[in-house]
């Protein structure tokens, strides 16, 4: 017998909304709770958010939950608590953005979801879920939508390798509301989306749904080149969130020429599906982002006289990925290349910086981001020991910074390799490539791109 969950009344609270889903069958004993305990979990669906922390009575329990991630499930005594959600603001200081008393009843799972515009009025919704007992070959599926555009589409679910026409219509998903749960036979499934004209516009990658589990299948925003700008997250009570893209989504790449051995280079990419792109780049020039079908790409490099320099560089672009190919001097003076995946998700109060060291004169270098009221000794924003050809990511809040790249020797003597003018970092993520530049007063420059 397939037993659906029924929706309980919705209770509106300031900044906190509570939804209930109660099982018609008995609760599963797999929740590992006692009569006086309950479980809490945090999922971050706010697309432009920083990492968030949920605290209970001023104790941080579920911390550093980034967009599209979930926390572990935490067992807690059932009673009334003061809960808060905190994150770093534009100055990099941790602030409470939501504070609210909440009552947690026993023997239930409380999924707290942060959603909405993080720079304006983010909201926290509490979904109360009691899990049914399932047959040995069943899974329990609940559908929801945390995207502004998700409600523009009809959602279907079908079995892997079956035709779309055999898929089951779930319907249009209202934003921030959970559907009634439905039982399905364990299998590999596919999510389909159709637009207002009933045209198929999204086919997910295969989703394995097994182990008598309850799965929450959520539409959420994505920021790659594919359209519609949606992805599917699958949540359970574990910390693992599996994300699935449209199998037909496009990808994008660009090439940055940081190789100073020639005035210009010509790159050619040959895709496994026959696509070909050819472009000439001057030294220190970046191509535009090329939107292409996903797949494997062979990259060749040649001089302005068509002398072949490289013919076998290979890189892969999966669905919705954005990557940059950086060309630079290796230690032999020849042209080499590296592939860097980029996060293009905008953030409300912070930025992800991708640092790449394309110089081999020093074993390692340090990057400092210095505000007007700080020095390299007092700034909290620095990353150390970036070696040649090493890639590091770094999160920094909004603001104006002077960027300084420094080498520190074994006697702690400092050598300034590069110093920028004050740069305003706002509304974007950045890539910073340290490269040699004989024309610079320092002998090096920092190639900064978005």
Query: How does pLDDT run across 56-76, given as a tens digit for each residue?
Result: 998 989 999 999 999 999 999
pLDDT category, 450, cuts 50, 70, 90? confident
* pLDDT above 90: residue 427: no
Q: Are the C-beta atoms of 271 and 294 separated by less than 8 Å? A: no
* pLDDT above 50: residue 26: no
**Domains along the chain?**
5-244 (no CATH), 249-342 (2.60.40.2890), 343-450 (2.60.40)
**Higher-confidence residue: 141 or 224?**
141
Tell me the sheet residues that pair with 246. 204
Convert the pLDDT of each residue in 152-192 to its tens digit: 999 999 999 999 999 999 999 999 999 999 999 999 999 99
Per the document, the length of the chain is 450
**Higher-confidence residue: 30 or 428?**
428
The beta strand positions in 283-422, using DSSP E, are 290-293, 295-302, 308-317, 322-329, 335-341, 350-357, 364-370, 382-387, 391-397, 399-408, 414-419
* Model pLDDT, residue 35: 62
* pLDDT above 70: residue 1: no
Cα–Cα distances in angstroms (integers) from residue 124 to residues 85, 117, 150, 416, in the given order: 8, 11, 19, 46
Q: What is residue 378's DSSP assignment?
A: T
* Model pLDDT, residue 18: 55
**Parallel, antiparallel, or unpaired: how do β-strands 16-23 and 123-129 relate?**
parallel
Convert the pLDDT of each residue in 119-144 to its tens digit: 888 999 999 987 888 888 999 999 99
* Model pLDDT, residue 273: 82
Tokens for 280, please give them.
């000439």
Proportion of the chain above pLDDT 90, given as a percent: 77
Cα three-residue angle 437-428-360, rounded to 5 degrees:
25
pLDDT category, 20, cuts 50, 70, 90? low
**Higher-confidence residue: 84 or 275?**
84
* Model pLDDT, residue 58: 87
Question: Mean pLDDT, to the nearest integer, of 106-127?
Answer: 92
Cis preceding linkage at 228, omega within 30: yes
* Model pLDDT, residue 274: 84
Cα–Cα distances in angstroms (integers) from residue 297 to residues 124, 208, 268, 325, in the given order: 43, 29, 10, 11
Convert the pLDDT of each residue in 293-322 to its tens digit: 999 999 999 998 999 999 989 999 999 999
* pLDDT above 70: residue 11: no
Helix, strand, coil abundance in the chain, percent, nearest 5: 0, 55, 40
Question: Mean pLDDT, to the nearest integer, of 277-288?
Answer: 94
Tell me the sheet residues that pair with 393. 354
Question: Mean pLDDT, to the nearest integer, of 188-209?
Answer: 96
pLDDT category, 28, cuts 50, 70, 90? very low
Convert the pLDDT of each residue in 226-236 to its tens digit: 889 999 999 99
- If you average pLDDT over every residue of the chain, what do you get? 89
Proportion of the chain above pLDDT 70, given as a percent: 92
Q: 330: left (phi > 0), else alpha (psi -120 to 50), else beta?
A: beta
What's the predicted TM-score (pTM) here?
0.88
Q: How many angstroms separate the CA atoms of 123 and 135, rounded? A: 36
Judge residue 144's burial from the number of C-beta atoms within 10 Å of its C-beta, 0-12 exposed, 13-18 middle, 19 or more buried.
Answer: buried
For 374, residues 6+ apart whose C-beta sits below 8 A from its C-beta are: none
Q: Tokens 């210009």 appear where?
A: 264
* Model pLDDT, residue 355: 96
Question: Mean pLDDT, to the nearest integer, of 276-289?
Answer: 94
């Amino acid at each position: 017998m397939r037993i659906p969950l029924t929706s309980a009344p919705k209770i509106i609270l300031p900044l906190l909304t509570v939804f209930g889903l109660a099982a018609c069958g008995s609760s599963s004993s797999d929740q590992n709770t006692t009569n006086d305990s309950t479980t809490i979990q945090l999922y971050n669906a706010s697309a432009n958010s920083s990492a968030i922390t949920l605290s209970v009575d001023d104790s941080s329990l579920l911390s550093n939950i980034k967009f599209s991630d979930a926390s572990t499930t935490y067992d807690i005594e059932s009673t009334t608590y003061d809960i808060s959600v905190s994150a770093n603001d534009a100055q990099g200081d941790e602030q409470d953005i939501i504070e609210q008393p909440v009552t947690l009843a026993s023997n239930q799972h409380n999924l707290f979801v942060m959603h909405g515009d993080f720079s304006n009025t983010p909201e926290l919704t509490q979904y109360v879920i009691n899990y049914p007992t399932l047959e040995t070959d069943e899974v329990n599926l609940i559908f929801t939508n945390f995207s502004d555009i998700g409600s523009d589409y009809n959602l279907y679910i079908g079995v892997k390798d079956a035709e779309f026409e055999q898929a089951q219509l779930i319907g249009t998903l209202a934003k921030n509301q959970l559907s009634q749960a439905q039982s399905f036979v364990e299998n590999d499934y596919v999510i389909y989306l159709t637009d207002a004209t009933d045209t198929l516009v999204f086919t997910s990658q295969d989703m394995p749904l097994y182990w008598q589990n309850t799965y929450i299948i959520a539409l959420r925003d994505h920021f790659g080149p594919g359209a519609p700008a949606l992805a599917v997250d699958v949540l359970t009570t574990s910390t693992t969130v599996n994300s699935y893209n449209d199998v037909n989504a496009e990808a994008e790449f660009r090439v940055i020429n940081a190789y100073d051995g020639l005035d210009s280079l010509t790159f050619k990419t040959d895709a496994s599906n026959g696509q070909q792109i050819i472009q000439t780049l001057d030294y220190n020039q970046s191509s535009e982002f090329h939107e292409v079908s996903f797949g494997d790409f062979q990259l060749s490099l040649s001089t302005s006289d068509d002398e072949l320099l490289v013919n076998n560089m290979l890189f892969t672009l999966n669905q919705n990925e954005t990557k940059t190919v950086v060309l630079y001097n290796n230690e032999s003076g020849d042209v080499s290349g590296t592939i860097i995946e980029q996060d293009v998700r905008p953030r409300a109060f912070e930025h992800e910086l991708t640092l790449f060291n394309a110089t081999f004169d020093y074993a390692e270098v340090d990057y400092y981001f210095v505000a007007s009221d700080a020095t390299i000794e007092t700034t909290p924003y620095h990353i150390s020991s970036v070696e040649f050809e090493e890639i590091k990511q770094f999160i920094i809040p909004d603001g104006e910074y002077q960027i300084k790249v420094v080498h520190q020797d074994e006697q702690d003597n400092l050598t300034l390799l590069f110093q920028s003018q004050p740069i305003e970092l706002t509304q974007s993520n950045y890539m910073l490539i340290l490269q040699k530049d004989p024309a610079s007063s320092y002998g090096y420059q920092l190639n900064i791109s978005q």
